Structure 1
């Protein structure tokens, strides 16, 4: 039986801060240009607004980015509220959550609410088609306020992402070595540590060079934007790109080699 050759997949995960950069401006074309330049097969976004309100000018960011980049859209709201009172049928719903933009065929999409208090959190689980196979991708944004909630949420998303080959990405609001992410470490591998090559925004003489720090964008101190992989997925390259003009996070790019299961 001939062994399958691994398939290259470029993925980016990015908390886009509803399109508001460190200059305080909502500028979706600026964000779209950055995302177009990375030339990714899969773009996983957190903190995306759909007609949410004045902070993002009431626009459907997910749909506009999908059109601008000519990529298919999968959507997973964490907040889903009625539109303005007085409009027909309550108007378009106000939503906020996770999006996945894909050049690869979308085969299945699931949205899973996550446990915990405070701001609602969810995980968007998508199966994308590869040549003679498929890849599961889960995009999420864990609690910023409670380590206990993050632990419950990490356990829940780990259970979602045990199918191989698969990738779990997002803003986890904790370092990869934090106690509350133990469930991920038990069953998945940290792509930053697995990468054959790494680079980030730390300068040549910085003590934080190749540490993978992504937040805050102006002076990164923490590595909370992460990619985790199952068996069947290796990591050729991991790079923290410069997103300071478009968000309060930097995006993380990984070049993956995926071996589909028979």
Structure 2
């Protein structure tokens, strides 16, 4: 079994409007996932460095970041990052370029967990419904261009409040994972954080991780899925 989490960390800005990366790390320790797909993982302004300082990630000792190495000091690509535990092997990785009115992207990582290969895609889609659908189709097209087909899990903050839109695009190719409302963290009503899986991935359990800590660490709650590969 592999535990995957997806979490919009809001640049590590907590409910008190202060940047508290240590709270995000505490949340990740609380969940204990093997793989974490993060959104808003980089700061918005200036050098856009990682919202979680690399030395704090190293000191925690559980995770390492998939090294996209596109922007110095960034942990990912346009705020999308993938963290893996030391039991997970990073096989290959690449960024996805997306059509957008503002800088947006997605990230792919091919991983090996317990001798089995898994492809994960992390994403944070636009606020505009029309742009979201273009971005969803761009992600699916770039997945189709991969030289090797692998069992795949896609996850992230889709910014989709309805049951249609980009959900219909992803749902035409992948199976949606049952998840509950994850936004706003203090009183969640929106199902903005989503997961989808391809053939070859079996979801054993899934949900939203809600605790006293997660309700103050970000404006989103993390979502998770326990999966079997193959």
Shared fold (TM-score, shorter chain, > 0.5): yes
* Aligned equivalent of 1:99, options 74, 78, 81: 81
* Residues matched between the structures, number: 218
1:22/1:218 contact within 8 Å kept: no
Report whether the alignment pairs 1:135 with 2:118: yes
- Indicate whether 1:239 and 2:207 are aligned: yes
Q: Which residue of 2 aligns with 1:61?
A: 52
Larger radius of gyration: 1
Cα offset for 1:110?
A: 0.1
Listed as ranges, the matches of 1:34-183 within 5 Å are 34-49=27-42, 52-53=45-46, 61=52, 63-64=54-55, 66-67=57-58, 68-74=60-66, 96-103=78-85, 104-117=88-101, 119-144=102-127, 146-161=128-143, 163-175=149-161, 177-183=163-169
Change (3 A) 1:28 1:93: closer
Root mean square deviation, CA, Å: 2.5
Q: TM-score, normalised by structure 1?
A: 0.75
Question: Where does the alignment leave 5 or more consecutive residues of structure 2 unmatched?
Answer: none
Q: How does 1:208-227 map to 2 (within 5 A)?
A: 212-227=180-195
Runs of 4+ in structure 1 displaced over 4 angstroms?
50-54, 75-78, 92-96
| Deviation by residue 1:143-192 (Cα, 9 ceiling, x = unmatched) | 02x11100000111223445330100100000472223322010000011
1:72 Cα deviation from its structure 2 partner: 2.2
Q: Compute the TM-score of the two structures, normalised by the length of structure 2.
A: 0.85
Q: Any idea what the Cα deviations from partners look like across 1:51-79, whole Å, max 9, x if unmatched? A: 9559x9x665262454124322115589x
